[in-house]
Amino acid sequence: MKIGVLALQGAFIEHEKKLIECGAEAFEIRQRRDIERSFDGLILPGGESTVIGKLLHELELMKPVRERIIGNMPVMGTCAGLILLAEHIAADDTVHIGTMGITARRNAYGRQLGSFHTTAQFKEIGEIPMTFIRAPYIEDVSTAEILAEVDGKAVAARENNQLALAFHPELDDSTAVHEYFLRMCR
């Protein structure tokens, strides 16, 4: 199985390491010709959603990424990736990829000093570690299903081929979330 990891900003190398640990092949998507390769799933890592959105447009990647997702390619968005997938961003008219029926609240847990680590139940997986760094949360869902909550806030959701996470599974020892995503790709 081959997974493309958007490598414009953020913890993309950590995602690649997790995928390899799970037995998958990972490659970086940095330019238009990379997205034209054959692959089975896509990861949109954390970083700064405004910057990643701008780079997706400048590098002519936004349209083909969106088309792949609409065409049912499995995608996992973590932190900024969640914001990129969201149909709505609270208190912001910006829409990036906008294919998932969620409203994201950016920097919901505060700035860098508001970062934290916890464990919580994740539907179909069980209790897993979760690392939040300037994290968003899912303020509302329209068509997605909530998979995990922390302190009453939705932090993971799935809609068909799309998985959105407010936390960074690539930064924890567990491979459970990446394994879950790879099952989506099969």
How many angstroms separate the CA atoms of 155 and 164, rounded? 8
List of residues 6+ apart from 145 with CB closer than 8 A: 123, 157, 158, 159
Catalytic-labelled residue, pool 14, 79, 88, 185: 79
Catalytic-labelled residue, pool 88, 96, 168, 178: 168
Catalytic-labelled residue, pool 14, 16, 159, 170: 170
Q: Is 15 a catalytic residue?
A: no
81 in Cβ contact with 43 (< 8 Å): yes
Q: Is 170 a catalytic residue?
A: yes
Vertex 79 angle, CA 116 and 12, to 5°:
105
Q: Is 79 a catalytic residue?
A: yes
Residues noted as catalytic: 79, 168, 170
